[in-house]
Homo-oligomer: A and B are copies of this chain.
């Protein structure tokens, strides 16, 4: 019997609603398999917490999370709290503090889900993004010079270290080796304009490419990549990108997958020195929060990724199968997909499917 301690941070808005379903699914998995147990500790760190305490999490927040096997995060963000506070002081703090330098984002169209791009199918939309997750454009370095004067300017510095860049690329090369598709790795660049950071990025990529001669490699400018993802998604297998480029392209990828309702993500510290964090990408969606209609698929997919990470890929696959069964029923799904389901009924239906597998 394996017992995992999970820190749960539901956060704000629909984060709280979808988290319940994620936990429901994990509890079903636990019941069904009999060899896994989860103990969940809830943390109310959020924008509401900020309103009361003036901080997004306590000073010793990271310390309190350190000993967990994994962190599940719903979503943070709320009107009234500036995003650069709510996100930098919680989400980005954890990503950077726990050296979760890999952001893993599957861009996969599930069967029965409508892709907005003509002619695309689950076969053509099937790639994985490896996004650098702790530095680069998100380094947070810079300043604003004499903000209110006519001479005002702002400087925002991206910082790319060889150490992290190399580790992220190695992770991507290894994944390209392992994944069945084309053994192909696309590196997203913009070295025609970003004459230091992306030239540096390209050099490191070239160096590693010669070590991984069995992996087919390709370099693509971020602007062209955005276009190609629409024009020929079938050509991509594993994609490695900087923090910002990964952020932009994976949201575009979410559109290809049928919307943010399917955008699952994992923030991974591969050395397992610190806990990894699993979070759907959709955000707190204040405009639909409180109505019980948020699509919990992304959260549940995220839970699948956590199971994979903990070494239980076969259970992870069961969760994905159960999700696909539910997607096949046009009434079961949530309104964003044209159905009449609720957040809770989708979670329940997935648990029922799990029991029938």
- Asked if A296 lies at the interface with its beta carbon under 8 angstroms from chain B, I say no
A215 within 8 A of B: no
Q: Does A83 contact B (CB under 8 A)?
A: yes
Contact indicator B152/A87 (Cβ below 8 Å): no
Contact of A84 among B149, B163, B191, B260 (CB under 8 A): B191
A150 to B153, alpha carbons, bound, how many Å? 33
Which residues from B are CB-within-8-Å of A86? Answer: 192
Q: Determine the residue in chain B with the shortest Cβ distance to A201.
A: B154
Q: How large is the interface on A (under 10, 10 to 19, 20 to 34, 35 or more residues)?
A: 35 or more
Cβ contact within 8 Å between B244 and A156: no
Asked if B200 contacts A147 (CB within 8 A), the reply is: yes
Report if A1 contacts B (CB, 8 A). no
Q: Which of A2-10, A64-72, A219-227, A304-312 contacts B (4 or more CB under 8 A)?
A: A219-227
Chain B nearest Cβ from A162, distance in angstroms: 4
**Complex interface: chain B residues within 8 A of A157 (CB):** 142, 155-158
Q: Name the residue among A156, A203, A260 with the largest chain B CB count within 10 angstroms.
A: A156
Of the residues B153, B227, B244, contact of A161 by C-beta under 8 Å = B153
**Distance A194 CA – B92 CA, assembled complex (angstroms):** 11
* Most chain B CB inside 10 Å of its own CB: which residue of A87, A194, A222: A194
The yes or no answer to A23 lying at the interface (CB within 8 A) is: no
Decide: A196 near B144, CB < 8 A? Known: A160-B154, A163-B150, A226-B251: yes
Measured in the bound complex, the distance between the Cα atoms of B154 and A67 in whole Å is 33
Q: Assuming the A-B contacts A153-B161, A163-B150, are A248 and B231 also in contact, with contact meaning beta carbons closer than 8 angstroms in the complex? A: no
Determine the distance from Cα of A142 to Cα of B194 in the docked complex, in whole angstroms.
9
What's the least CB distance linking A12 to chain B, in Å? 13
Contact A194 B227, beta carbon cutoff 8 Å: no
A350 to B153, CA, bound (A): 46
Nearest B-chain residue to A83, judged by Cβ: B192
Asked if A116 lies at the interface with its beta carbon under 8 angstroms from chain B, I say yes
A294 to chain B, nearest CB (A): 16
**Interface flag for A177 (CB, 8 Å):** no
Shortest Cβ distance from A254 into B: residue: B227
Interface residues of A in 231-246 (CB under 8 A from B): 231, 243-244
Contact at B118–A203, with CB atoms within 8 Å? no
How many Å from the CB of A26 to the closest CB on chain B?
28
Once bound together, how far apart are the Cα atoms of A199 and B151, in whole Å?
Answer: 17
* Complex contacts, A230 vs chain B, CB 8 Å: 116-117, 230, 252, 255-256
Nearest B residue to A260 via CB reads B227
Known interface pairs A88-B193, A162-B151; A227-B252 also in contact (CB < 8 Å) = yes
Tell me if B150 and A162 are in contact (CB < 8 A).
yes
Indicate if A106 sits at the interface (CB-CB under 8 A): no
A357 to chain B, nearest CB (A): 32
Interface pair B153/A159, CB less than 8 Å apart: yes
At the interface, yes or no: A195 with Cβ under 8 Å from chain B?
A: yes
Instruction: Give A254 to B229 CA distance when docked, in angstroms.
Output: 12
Q: How far is the CB of A113 from chain B (nearest CB, A)?
A: 13
**Which residues of chain A have a CB within 8 Å of any CB of chain B?**
77, 82-84, 86-88, 92, 116-118, 137-138, 140, 142-144, 147, 149-163, 190-201, 203, 222-224, 226-227, 230-231, 243-244, 247-252, 254-256, 259-260
By Cβ-Cβ distance, the 10 closest A-B pairs, closest first, are A83-B192, A156-B197, A154-B200, A223-B251, A152-B162, A142-B196, A226-B252, A230-B255, A227-B255, A153-B161
